[in-house]
A and B are shown apart, each in its own frame.
Chain A
Amino acid sequence: MELQTLKEQARQVRRDVIQMTAGAGSGHPGGSLSCTEALVALYFDVMNVDPRDEKNPDRDRFVLSKGHAAPALYGTLCERGFFPREELKSFRQLHSILQGHPDVKKCPGVDASTGSLGQGISIATGMALGAKHLGKKTRVYTIIGDGESQEGLVWEASMAAAHYKLDNLTVILDHNGLQIDGSNDEVMSLGDIKAKALAFGYDVIEVADGNDMQQVLDALHAPVCPGKPRYILLNTVKGKGVSFMENQVGWHGKAPSAEQAEQALKELEG
């Protein structure tokens, strides 16, 4: 897809994130805005998925391991045609298909229920292993958080992905540097995360600007390294695209007020 079109989609998803969280009065805008390019690139340019045949057993799979970024996933799925725009208004409301965290039973296009951090990457690893077992060409993608990488399960899954040579698995780190209680370094330092990923047996690609669509596309389209799972380290900005949210830890799990949403949407106009 044209680069400009993808950038336009990302801008629209960001607007969806603001409207959804403002409408619900809760949710996680900061970490949604940091992984928007990755989601749009996956659903519009990289993955083999089709909203008209959403359960096709041979489709590629995606797991949002950092499940709190659900608004960005819902915006992307909606723009891609998995459900009508009307649904976005029901985000976090009673009986909505758009639960606070992604629910595979309720939302079309969602491949795993996530939100309990560390589990998504492990489920994605199982999907990749299952695909290999069945001789399918399915590729599996997952986005994890940097704070999430403090969970031991992330590393258990990584060890298994390398052990079973899951070169059909791509783990994408949304490294915005912030988590609920502060920066990663204040809360629990990740140390040299790239060296850690390499040591666990990943084929690692670091992206200098994980909010630059072209750079994200280049990484996602890089040829597979046979026998090795892929790890894409995206250096991103939390709250990207909204001036007063960028790099602000306070916007992890807080919804914008009506006035703030209005300003954010103005900034996100084409």
Chain B
Amino acid sequence: MEKKAVRVAYGEALCKIAATNEKIVVLDADLASATMTGTFKKEYPHRFYDCGIAEANMVDMAAGMSTMGLIPFCSTFAVFAGRNYDQIRNGVCYPKFNVKFGFSHAGITLGEDGGSHQAVEDIALMRVLPGMTVFVPSDANECYQCVEAAAKINGPVYIRTARLPSPVYDPQPFEVGKGIVLRDGRDAVLFTCGIMKEHALETAEILAGEGIDLAVVSFHTIKPFDDLLAREYAAKCRKVFTLEEHSVIGGLGDTVASAIIGHGVESFHKIGINDVFGQSGKPADLLKEYGLTGPQIAENIKSHL
């Protein structure tokens, strides 16, 4: 299967929407070659503003630009969602300004740069902000859809992208706030987001070989969340698991928990980063270290059935 990093799709998608929307401008903080806004910079040099290594100022400048009628997309590493959090909260979300955040290199699959750079808390930080839409695209095609949707939303949007090349699946019909059933099942359900989709599907394959019918549901939108779909599958499968490349605190797992509590769930387990920071290593080694490969997830799920 073709592989492509979600961040690469982000850069390409910006060019695509900019072609038909004059209001789109892009800001970066000296990471254009990493967040892939460099693709945009090359095609639209006069609509690209480098802010230097000053992430806080980038966000508030974008806030100011949005008040002039522009639609700024800000990009940097997801780990800096903490660094410029006050600007995102007070500068953009509090006044409901029309600013988009395309933050890349999220999660442990960032790899060798290590724990200082691996954001495992950004979903939690973003979803708690009133009015913020939170996207976690699961592959390159879904990233295109998230960027297109973000430009149409009048308000702040966070798009979490990954550095690691991951499989590109056939595009699915996209609707903001709607989850996607990747695989139906009746014994248990695995809810996932982002590039963990690949590992969730592998898990389902492994379990199928052992006679366990696992449903897999992916959510590109963490906020507003598809409570109804989560409830439907929780009620149907009764044994619920969540999988994310993020802390088990405050991310997809807790979003699902809030949605399904009191809806006939028999058991509920969150699989993700267990309240620790990451570390350096090859992405594949890191996934194994934190128990996020298909075989490990399958074992984990079986131990609870």
Establish whether residues A129 and B64, one from each chain, have CB atoms under 8 Å apart when the complex forms.
yes
Contact of A125 among B61, B69, B86 (CB under 8 A): B61
Q: Is A221 an interface residue (CB 8 A)?
A: no
What 1/0 mask marks residues of chain A from 132 to 172 whose CB sits below 8 Å from any chain B CB? 01101010100000000000110011011001100000000
Contact of B95 among A112, A124, A131 (CB under 8 A): A112
Binds A, one of B52-60, B173-181, B281-289: B52-60
What 1/0 mask marks residues of chain B from 18 to 59 whose CB sits below 8 Å from any chain A CB? 000000010000000000000000000001010110101100
In the complex, which residues of chain A have a beta carbon less than 8 angstroms from the beta carbon of B67? 61, 111-112, 123, 126-127, 130
Output the residue of A57, A105, A128, A133 with the most chain B CB within 10 A. Answer: A133
Query: Number of contact residues on A: which range applies?
Result: 35 or more
Complex CA distance for A250 and B51, rounded to whole angstroms: 39
Complex CA distance for A105 and B68, rounded to whole angstroms: 15
Complex CA distance for A190 and B241, rounded to whole angstroms: 55
Complex CA distance for A113 and B66, rounded to whole angstroms: 13
Contact of B65 among A118, A119, A126 (CB under 8 A): A126
Complex CA distance for A115 and B49, rounded to whole angstroms: 26
Establish whether residues B68 and A160, one from each chain, have CB atoms under 8 Å apart when the complex forms.
no
Q: Is A93 an interface residue (CB 8 A)?
A: no
B50 to chain A, nearest CB (A): 9
Complex CA distance for A156 and B52, rounded to whole angstroms: 9
B22 to chain A, nearest CB (A): 10
Contact of A160 among B47, B52, B66, B87 (CB under 8 A): B52
In the complex, which residues of chain B have a beta carbon less than 8 angstroms from the beta carbon of A126? 60-67
In the complex, which residues of chain A have a beta carbon less than 8 angstroms from the beta carbon of B96? 105
Q: List 17 A-B contacts (CB under 8 A).
A: A57-B69, A63-B64, A113-B90, A122-B60, A125-B64, A126-B65, A126-B67, A128-B64, A130-B64, A131-B68, A133-B25, A133-B68, A153-B56, A153-B87, A159-B57, A160-B54, A163-B52
